[in-house]
Amino acid sequence: LEHVDADIEEGLYLPLSLINDCRRQVTTKLGKALWQRPRSSSAVELPAKSSTIIREPETLGVSVISLPEARAAEEAGADWLVFGREWLTTGIEVYLQEYKEVAQEIGVPVILRLPRILHSDEEQLMIKHLPQDVEVLASSTAACGVAAARGIKVRGDHGLNVLNSWAAEFFPLLSVTLSQELTHREVDDVSAKSAVPLELVVHGRQLLMIHENCLLSASCGGRKDKCHGEDELVDRKMLRFPVYTD
């Protein structure tokens, strides 16, 4: 949009629900207008895909956060493990040491999960201390960059939101976990068109989001001693989403 005029009378009040509804209507109309525009003849052509797709036998991976969980998963028949949370609860050095202890004790391959949120100083520590022979599971482009800086093999986690075969092959990854938003038909379509090994989350409670800043600080005046550690968010449809702090 090049120019917008807004004439607002003094004292005019609009409820937030009406403003959001207007925003949705505008977005819908803009989308329709864009799709109706003639396509440019100079559009970028996507590279051709390999016609040969070889699938490996299915394996079962289990996510764990401690040595007892790792032992239980191995005894239950897991083919490989992913160690670590999607956010940091300790320092980088402690986190990596915990991973090393699990990897040394367990007889199946153990992949290190890189946290979704890494501050600049944490990124530098992770790059400095990551062992060269480790495989990592990355949920963000930043995490992929950290691993690439160390020349480490990377697997893509569901946080990359891979929705199609082109996204699956965007990064040079050992494997890709498809987005949990895909339907069975869409999963079949990506599988038929992508040569990258694919993974699916088949069981377990999944986080809706991980927020870098505390969502509950306003209700407790920014004081940790007043925080009760859990609350909920309520959206415009009155759906309730539980919130837990680390």
Q: How far apart are CA 214 and CA 231, in angstroms?
A: 11
Could you tell me if 154 and 178 are in contact, meaning their C-beta atoms sit under 8 angstroms apart?
Answer: no
Q: Do the Cβ atoms of 79 and 61 come closer than 8 Å?
A: yes
Q: Which pLDDT does position 68 carry in this prediction? A: 95
For the segment 51-84, what is each residue's pLDDT rounded down to a tens digit?
Answer: 556 667 889 999 999 999 999 999 999 999 999 9
% helix, strand, coil for the chain, step of 5: 35, 15, 50
- Pairwise CA distance, residues 96 & 125, whole Å: 11
Q: What is the DSSP string of 139-201?
A: SSHHHHHHHHHTT-EEEE-GGG-B-SHHHHTTS--S-EEBPTT--HHHHHHHHHH--S-EE--
pLDDT of 146 strictly over 80: no
Instruction: Tell if the pTM clears 0.95, that is, is over it.
Output: no
Q: What is the DSSP letter of 216?
A: S
Beta carbons within 10 angstroms of residue 127's beta carbon: 17
